[in-house]
Amino acid sequence: MTSSDTNGDREKVVTKLTSGLRQELKVRAALHGLDMQDAVEQGITAWRSLGSNLTALDTAGSETYSTFLPAGLWGGFRDDCKSRGVSLTQGLAQSVRLWLDNNPLPEVRRPSTTRRIVVCNQKGGVGKTAITAGLGEALAEDPARLMAVRVSRHFAALLDEDERAEDPLALEDLPGLGQRVLLVDFDPQGHLTKQLGHEPLPMDGDSLTNHMAGNPKGALSDVIVTVDEERFGDRLHLLPACTDAFLLDVRLASVRAREAALERALAPIEADFDVILIDCPPSLGISMDAAAYFGHRRTGEEAGNSGVLIVVQAEDSSADAYGLLTSQIEDMRGDLALDIDYLGLVVNHYDARRGYIATSSLQSWMDIKDPRVVGVIGDLKEQKEAVRAKRPLLAYAPRCEQSVALRALAREISK
């Protein structure tokens, strides 16, 4: 039926559609940058132009569905359904399916050069591992599904519940990014490996350390594992830690061009991924030099495609650690004539309830314009629960505040 309610020059139509078709239409329209009503209009127009009927679809369980269509379109469509001997519900289902068939899933946009993101800070406890994992998960989510995203200009952690309720732009449903991601646990403590439900590599086997030191025992791809969660498909992978990484600085001391050791080790597998994220140890040693080098801008690579992402907290000791880290990176830039891009600052574990120390420190980070703050992640219980459950946060609690903020971070550094 139609209603006198209008949306511009459109009329409101109330009809029926199966929940499956409705959800598929919602996702596909978003992927193509269209409103659902525009997709339905295109589908009905295409269906009416056909010279013969389509194969009947199963419309059992169809539910009430309303949309806005150009004035007169629904009346003409209703007459066509009657003349073709099909119900309005069947005609609409065929129209939607026709639009879906004519507008397939767009290909995922992939970087021309594998992105290399080095997540670092020499201070422990700031949450580098959580940010590495969450960012990788956000990059790898299903591109054929809609995910709740906190838009970047509305940091969730800075808004109280009343402000969020009044801000309709703060939360959006957007398609997953669908990137092929490798998470590298570069910390001998192995927190990233354990949080994702895997065990560190055995000391007597192969490891990233062996490859960096020039003593591999096999192909590095043989020790990479897949993070088995439906929303990531087979796109999210992990290179587990090995406790032999405690000896990495010692073993690299005698290696030729040791700064490039991580780059050389990962080179054989790099092309298999769109993004490689390095979860760095809290260190300013040789291993950190190798990680920073891995993130340097290569010949012909676009600025900001790769680089370092620095995780901090809204408190004073984090600022001291930040100064030491950036000094090390600046020394490498000058000594080796490298372009190492800062991808931004992530203020993690933020909680405004901690008062002036937290809020004033956050403002201090915001005042830094290069690198700029690209994400503020709240200190909430879901991350701790996900760690206890040994599951990825975005699979354990996909709509929690931390998850939607991490998706915003993924999009912010992918611009």
Coil, strand or helix at 187: coil
Q: How many domains does the chain have?
A: 2
Tokens linked to 363: 């403002």
In DSSP terms, 68 is beta-bridged to 12
At 79, is the pLDDT very low, low, confident or very high (cuts 50, 70, 90)? very high
| Domain boundary pick from 102, 134, 151 | 102
Same domain assignment for residues 172 and 193: yes
Same domain assignment for residues 241 and 129: yes
pLDDT in tens, 214-262: 999 999 999 999 999 999 999 999 999 998 888 888 888 888 889 999 9
| Domain boundary pick from 102, 127, 143 | 102
Same domain assignment for residues 98 and 163: no
Bridge-based pairing of strands 236-239 and 181-185 is parallel
Tell me the percentage of the chain whose pLDDT exceeds 70: 93
Residue 282 contacts residue 120 (beta carbons within 8 Å): no
- Please tell me the pTM assigned to this model: 0.85
How many other β-carbons are positioned within 10 Å of the β-carbon of residue 225?
A: 15
Same domain assignment for residues 87 and 133: no
Residue 36 CB-density burial (10 A; 0-12 exposed, 13-18 middle, 19+ buried): middle
Same domain assignment for residues 92 and 121: no
The CATH number that applies at residue 55 is 1.10.1220
Q: Which domain holds residue 48?
A: 2-102
Q: In angstroms, rounded to a whole number, what is the distance separating the alpha carbons of residues 150 and 174?
A: 10
Bridge-based pairing of strands 115-120 and 275-279 is parallel
| Domain boundary pick from 41, 76, 102 | 102
Rounded mean pLDDT of the chain?
89
- Torsion 76-81-83-87 (CA) sign: negative
Q: Which residue has the higher pLDDT, 240 or 124?
A: 240
Tell me the C-alpha to C-alpha distance, in Å, between residue 398 and each of 157, 160, 163, 236.
Answer: 17, 20, 22, 16
pLDDT in tens, 303-325: 999 999 999 988 877 777 888 88
Residue 108 resides in a domain:
no
Same domain assignment for residues 305 and 180: yes
The CATH number that applies at residue 128 is 3.40.50.300
Same domain assignment for residues 121 and 218: yes
pLDDT in tens, 386-398: 999 999 999 999 9
Residue 109 resides in a domain:
no
**Phi then psi dihedrals of residue 349, to 5 deg:** 60, 35
Same domain assignment for residues 40 and 157: no
The residue type found at 138 is: A
